[in-house]
Each structure stands twice: as C-alpha cells, then as structure tokens.
Amino acid sequence: MRGSIRKRGKTFQYRFHIRDPITNERKELSKGGFEKEKDAERAMILAMAEYEKGTLDLSGKFSFKQLSELWLEEKQGNVRESTMYSYKRALNARIMPEFERLDIKDIKPMHIHNFYQKLKKEGLSKRYISYVGTIIGSVFKKAVTLELIYKNPVENVDKPKMNKNKMKSWTADQAIEFLQVAKVRSVYYLAYFLAFNTGMRIGEVLGLHWSDIDFDAKMIHVQHTLTMVEGDYIIGPVKTESSDRHIPMSDNLIYEFEEHKKFSKNTSEDLVFRTKKGKLVDPYILRYMMKTICTELELPYIRFHDIRRTHTSILIDEGVSPKVVSQRLGHSDVSITLNIYTDVFDERQVDATDKMDQILSRGQLVVKSQKQDDTNH
C-alpha cells in the first residue's frame, strides 16, 4: 500500500487508496490540516497500520435509516410476513422519527436511554418499549457485524423491566361449563371445542382447512395459521417446523366436525371456519364472545390463548407425560412447556411433598409404636 503527502496552501495532507469493505470499490482516504510534512507522514503511517489491523473507521456517514433498510432486507424471507409487518410498524411509527437521519456512529447509549424515557412518558406499555428496544438492538447488532461501528449502543442500556404475568387456566369443570353455554350462544362453538381438545392456537384453529383433517385416520394435520400481514388477515404456513404437527382426534371431535360441515353456515369448501359472507374469521369475534360468556357465568376471565394452558393442566392432572403434551402444543422442546406452565408443576410438587410426607409419617408411626412397646416392657 502506497501513500503520498502533498501541500495544500499552508498545510499538508496525506492520502492513500484502499478497497471499501462494503462496496469493494477503490476508495481514497485522506486527511489534511497538518502544519508540518513530518506530522502528515506520521499520521498516514498510523492510519495505514490501523487499516491493516482492521480498526480504522472506514464507514464514513451511514444513517440509521440506511442501516435499518439493510437490516430489513436481510430479514425478508427469513421471518414470517406478520413479523416483518410488525417490525415495519414499530420502525415507522416510533423509531424512525427519532433516529432516521442520525449517523449511526453518533448514536450513543444516552440517546437510547432518553428514547426509552420518552416512550415511557408517552404512556406506552413496558412490553411495547421493550419490543422497540429489541428491534433497535438487533439493527445495531448488524452494524457491529459489518464493522460499521465497534459497539452496540443498546447493549448496556436497561430496558423497562417486565412484570411476568401469571398465566391462568380453568379446571375441567369450568371448561365444561363454558362449552355448554358456548354451544348455545356461539356459531363458532366448534372453534372453542377444538381448542380445548387439542391445545391449538387461535390462528391455527381459524386457519384449519378441511383437507387438513383425515377422518379415516382420525388425525388433524396442523400446517396452516391465520396471520396478519400489512393490516389484513391471510392464511399462511405455521410459525415453526415443530408447529407443523399431527394431533389425533377423539370420536366426539369427529362428530362435531361432521355436524359443523353438514349444518353450519359459517364454513366453506376450503376452510372449516368462515363468516356467512365467506370471509376469514377475525380472532376478535372469538375473544369477544369468550369474554361475554365468562362475564355471564361469573367464570374467571382467561384469554383464548390460555385455553392451551387449560388443555395442558387437565392432561397433566390425568398423568399424561409432559413430552406428549409438548408435542401436541407444537413446542420444539419439552422445556418450553415446563417453563410456560411452571405453576402447574408447582402444584404437582406440593402434591409430591404431601405424598412423601404421608409415606414417611407411616414409618415414623411404626418406630414410635415400637418404642412405646419397649418402654412398657
């Protein structure tokens, strides 16, 4: 690598050429303002040495907008369309107005901290602020990987702490009580019955095709899900490889499917659930009716998603293996099931403790009885 020194007015400037690490184009690096030629030469040697070590800043001006566009381009095709839609919404609504035109090298941890505080003052939830912070952190992680910056400014800034909500579930009796009323009140009764029977997610329930159901083999193939893209609901593939699964059907569930297909106006040739006008069913309809019935019956309100936990707790109460439950739910690992449903297992631990205490107590009674006999003799 060769460089040169030249005099410009009353000062000296150095310059040398390198290959841009991003574009691979030939690029000139130069710096002037040195009073002496020796100072310019010394600075050039140091700059060349930094370039060889890979520590010389070659990024120039690179805005947050440019970086986020590069990040989104990489995400495209690697995440679900609904996830891309969520990323774009958060970027456009909250992140871009704050950072769009800033050079990424100028964004420091204090900027991130102040941004979190601003969102907090605007009344946004801790969950949303945390989500926004995760996106910004991922964008800057890409910049570090490309060596555009050397440290992620989000890394050491604390996001709002999330209060972990304890997941709720019903007992088998409460589930039965709800289903009895839902059968009379809701044209989508089968959706609730299906969820309680299989632990399927609401998107999986509303994305179910008749072709996914093998009545002869008594099996449901969960491979479609209802998801939102660019503000509209569409039917797409399930979220992960483990979510693509087969779930056996009971005779009662088969009967309900057959009845629904014969008599319901809220179905179609392709989808098990549609509106009377042939449109996709908005999940809000199921959630609203569920809340209404809960209020009427004075049942503790649970979300539709908590039906999965109810399904799980009932099976665990009946002694079904967590591994089997995990496969039904479409979890990639049984540990996910165990972590999500911690309090169910806490209850089982209490039962185990009581049982062990009863067993050992019987032994203590025998010992005490023998001691009393020895004393009497």
pLDDT of residue 298: 94
For residues 31-41, average pLDDT? 87
For residues 4-23, average pLDDT? 82
pLDDT of 302 > 60? The answer is yes
Domain boundaries, the chain: 3-53, 64-145, 172-339
Token pair in block for residue 368: 């005490």
Same fold, 64-145 and 172-339: no
Distance separating alpha carbons of residues 126 and 133, to the nearest angstrom: 10
Higher-confidence residue of 61 and 90: namely: 90
Residue 104 has what DSSP assignment?
G
Q: pLDDT tens across 321-367, in order? A: 878 888 888 877 777 666 655 555 555 555 556 666 776 776 555 55
pLDDT of residue 365: 52
Architecture of the domain made up of 64-145: Orthogonal Bundle (1.10)
Alpha helix ranges (H) inside the chain: 37-53, 64-75, 81-90, 96-99, 109-121, 126-145, 172-185, 189-198, 202-206, 251-263, 283-297, 306-317, 322-329, 334-340, 342-376
Q: pLDDT tens across 59-85, in order? A: 557 889 989 998 998 898 788 888 888
From 213, 195, 191, 204, select the one nearest 275 (Cα to Cα). 191
Domain 172-339, CATH among 2.20.25.190, 2.60.120.260, 1.20.1250.20, 1.10.443.10: 1.10.443.10
Strand 26-34 to 245-248 pairing: unpaired
Cα angle 98, 74, 18 (rounded to 5 degrees) comes to 85
CA-based diameter of the chain, in Å? 119
Instruction: Report how far apart the first and last C-alpha atoms of the chain are (Å, whole number).
Output: 104
pLDDT of residue 297: 94
Entry field: residues in the chain:
377
For residues 191-210, average pLDDT? 96
pLDDT of residue 21: 61
State whether residue 196 is helix, strand or coil.
Answer: helix
pLDDT of residue 320: 81
pLDDT of residue 111: 95
Q: Are 358 and 351 in contact (CB under 8 A)?
A: no
From 215, 176, 213, select the one nearest 192 (Cα to Cα). 176
The sign of the dihedral angle between the CA atoms of 307, 311, 316, 322 is negative
Model confidence, pTM: 0.64
Distance separating alpha carbons of residues 314 and 195, to the nearest angstrom: 13
pLDDT of 266 > 90? The answer is yes
pLDDT of residue 20: 67
Token pair in block for residue 174: 């409460």
